[in-house]
Every structure is written in C-alpha cells, then in structure tokens.
C-alpha cells in the first residue's frame, strides 16, 4: 500500500483572529499554527492502513511557504515515512492548489490519496474532490468509516438524515471527517525519528486565482440579549417574546 496524505498548516482554532492592515487577510503575528485537525484523521488512517497491510509507504505532502516544514515534521513524528514540501511563495484558490497537488500525485503510484474533509481556515471542502476530478480517480468525501481490502474500498459518510455506504476500486481519493479514527499523539521516539526522515523540497508555481478575496471582516458581535427571568415562571414570558417580538414561533 502506498498512501499519500495532503496536509495543510492552519491557524490554531482557538486563537483570536485579528484582521491585517490589508483588510483582506489575517494578521499572523503571534498566531499559533497547527496541522489542519481533519488532516490528522487522514494521517492516522494512512499510518494504520500501512501497519495493517504490513508493507508499503506513507508520504505526507504540503503546499506552502517554508513554515509548512514544521507541520510536515509533525506528520512524520506521528509515523509517516517521508515528506514532500511543495514550495510556493504566494497563495492561490482551491482549483490552483488542486492542480499543483494533482501534478505531484499523478505519477506517484499511490493506491490511496487522503485529504481532510476541509481546511478549518478557508472552509473550502474542495481540494480533495478537485484533485480526484483532475486525476479522474474515484472520490469519497467526508468519510467516517473506511475499509480497504483486495484493491477496493468501502466507506461510509454522514449525509442529512442518514449514512451513505460507498464502494470504489483503488486507486482512490478519500477525504476524512471526524469520527473516522482517533489520531495518535506523536511519542518522543517518533519526534526524534522525524528529524531524520526525508523531507524533499520541490519549488512549484501557482497559476492565477479566479477566486479573489476582496475583504475580510469580523462578524458583527451578537448583542447579549436579556435575561427573561428565572425558573419555570419565566417560560410564559419567553414564549410570548418568541411569538410577538422575535416572531419565530
């Protein structure tokens, strides 16, 4: 089994967002960065599948500036065999990112290419299915269950009001959702080993984006409303307000 994981470096989800002077991006000063949480499910799946197969290779791939190397090392520390840094200065839109990833993955001989369901910064949900389309591979998005055997996969994903069961043959693309597994924490041994694992740097050029960000702003703060009252006596008043003032019942 040869498995690739596409990994994105994202700002920590608990950090406070500060809008940069350009009013279209965030101020990265002092921000903590982490591997995209959904990509950790992908990393875990890759490592576990290789362990189960007893043979093969796992590769983690990240596109971005030099800081992504730190994130790649975190994947290596979890147990991925080697890393590829697709080095680019600027940023791009979902399709241009997908094109660069697809170009790297195309002749890699991968049985499985794993992504996160979405990146928690841009919320696109796009890179995985786009890469699959560009490479004409089967794709399952937002998998919460994944089994691989005899050159085929079976997966489950949550849809509104149910769970879809899907099948495809390998090679295939799968994007991973919470619930797929519990990502392991890197052990000290893994962290030491990660420093010596191969990390290849490949400069890439991103095409022009058709999706251009023109602004970024903080959402209007929700005004704290009022305390209607205390205990069950307040319920009648609450229902009246919901009916007559908020007009939602």
Partner 1 sequence: MNVLAVLEQRDGALRKVSHEVLAAARRLADASGGSVHALVLAGGDVTGLDQLGRFGADVVKVATHDAFTLGSPDGAATVAAAQSGYGAVVLAATAQGRDLAPRIAARLGAPVATDVTDLAADGGKVVVTRPVYAGRALQKATLGGAVAVISVRPNTFAPVESGKAGTREDVVVPAFTPRVTVKAIKKPEAAKLDVSEASVVVSGGRGLKEPQHFALLEELASAFGNAAVGASRAVVDAGWRDHGEQVGQTGKTVSPQLYIAVGISGAIQHLAGMRTAKTIVAINRDKDAPIFKVADYGVVGDLFEILPRLTEEVKKLKAGA
Ligand X SMILES: Nc1ncnc2c1ncn2[C@@H]1O[C@H](COP(=O)(O)O)[C@@H](O)[C@H]1O
Q: Which two tokens stand for residue 195?
A: 């420093």
Q: Which does 29 bind (CB under 5 to 8 A by kind): partner 1, ligand X, none?
A: none
Q: Which does 105 bind (CB under 5 to 8 A by kind): ligand X, partner 1, none?
A: none
By C-beta, is 107 or 217 nearer to partner 1? Answer: 217
Site string for partner 1, 204-233 (x = CB under 8 A): -----xxxxxxxxxxx--x-xxxxxxxxx-
By C-beta, is 189 or 217 nearer to partner 1? Answer: 217
Positions that interact with ligand X (CB under 6 A): 6-8, 36, 38-39, 61-64, 94, 97, 115-116, 118-119, 122, 124-128
Q: Which does 226 bind (CB under 5 to 8 A by kind): ligand X, partner 1, none?
A: partner 1
Q: Which does 36 bind (CB under 5 to 8 A by kind): partner 1, ligand X, none?
A: ligand X
By C-beta, is 25 or 242 nearer to ligand X? Answer: 25
Among 93, 97, 116, 181, binds partner 1 (CB under 8 A): 93
Among 95, 170, 193, 204, binds partner 1 (CB under 8 A): 95
Q: Which residues pair with 84 in a beta bridge?
A: 61, 200
3-state secondary structure at position 180: coil
Among 151, 160, 188, 189, binds partner 1 (CB under 8 A): 160
Who's near 204: CB < 8 A, 6+ residues apart?
Answer: 63, 86, 87, 88, 100, 103, 104
* 239 makes contact with partner 1 (CB under 8 A): yes
- CA dist 107 and 85 (Å) reads 17
* 140 makes contact with partner 1 (CB under 8 A): yes
> Taking every pair of C-alpha atoms in the chain, what is the biggest distance, in angstroms?
69
- CA dist 243 and 248 (Å) reads 6
- CA dist 111 and 107 (Å) reads 11
Pairing of strands 139-149, 152-159: antiparallel
By C-beta, is 27 or 66 nearer to partner 1? Answer: 27
Burial class (CB in 10 A: 0-12, 13-18, 19+), 107: exposed
By C-beta, is 71 or 148 nearer to ligand X? Answer: 71
Whole-Å CA distances, 240 to 66, 214, 231, 246, 247? 58, 42, 16, 9, 9
Q: Which does 64 bind (CB under 5 to 8 A by kind): ligand X, partner 1, none?
A: ligand X
Burial class (CB in 10 A: 0-12, 13-18, 19+), 196: exposed
- CA dist 171 and 109 (Å) reads 9
Q: How far is the CB of 136 from ligand X (least distance, A)?
A: 18
DSSP run (H or E) holding 239: helix 235-244
Site string for partner 1, 5-44 (x = CB under 8 A): ------x-xx--x-x------x----------x-------
């Amino acid at each position: 089994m040869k498995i690739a994981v596409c990994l994105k470096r994202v700002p920590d989800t608990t950090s406070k967002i500060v809008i940069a002077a350009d009013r279209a991006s965030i101020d990265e000063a002092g921000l903590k960065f982490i591997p995209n949480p959904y990509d950790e499910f992908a990393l875990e799946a890759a490592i576990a599948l290789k362990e189960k197969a007893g043979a093969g290779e796992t590769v983690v791939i990240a596109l971005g500036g030099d800081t992504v190397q730190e994130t790649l090392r975190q994947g290596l520390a979890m147990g991925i065999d080697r890393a590829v840094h697709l080095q680019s200065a600027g940023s791009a839109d979902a399709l241009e990112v997908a094109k660069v990833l697809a170009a790297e993955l195309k002749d890699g001989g991968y049985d499985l290419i794993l992504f996160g369901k979405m990146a928690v910064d841009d919320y696109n949900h796009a890179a995985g299915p786009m890469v699959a389309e560009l490479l004409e591979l089967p794709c399952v998005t937002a998998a919460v269950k994944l089994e691989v055997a005899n050159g085929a996969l079976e997966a489950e994903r949550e849809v509104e009001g149910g769970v879809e069961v899907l099948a495809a043959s390998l090679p295939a693309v799968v994007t991973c959702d919470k619930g797929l597994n519990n990502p392991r924490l890197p052990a000290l041994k893994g962290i030491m080993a990660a420093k010596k694992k191969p990390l290849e740097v490949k400069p890439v050029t991103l095409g022009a984006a058709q999706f251009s960000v023109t602004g970024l702003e903080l959402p209007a703060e929700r005004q704290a409303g009022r305390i209607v009252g205390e205990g069950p006596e307040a319920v009648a008043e609450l229902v009246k307000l919901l009916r007559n003032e908020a007009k939602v019942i």
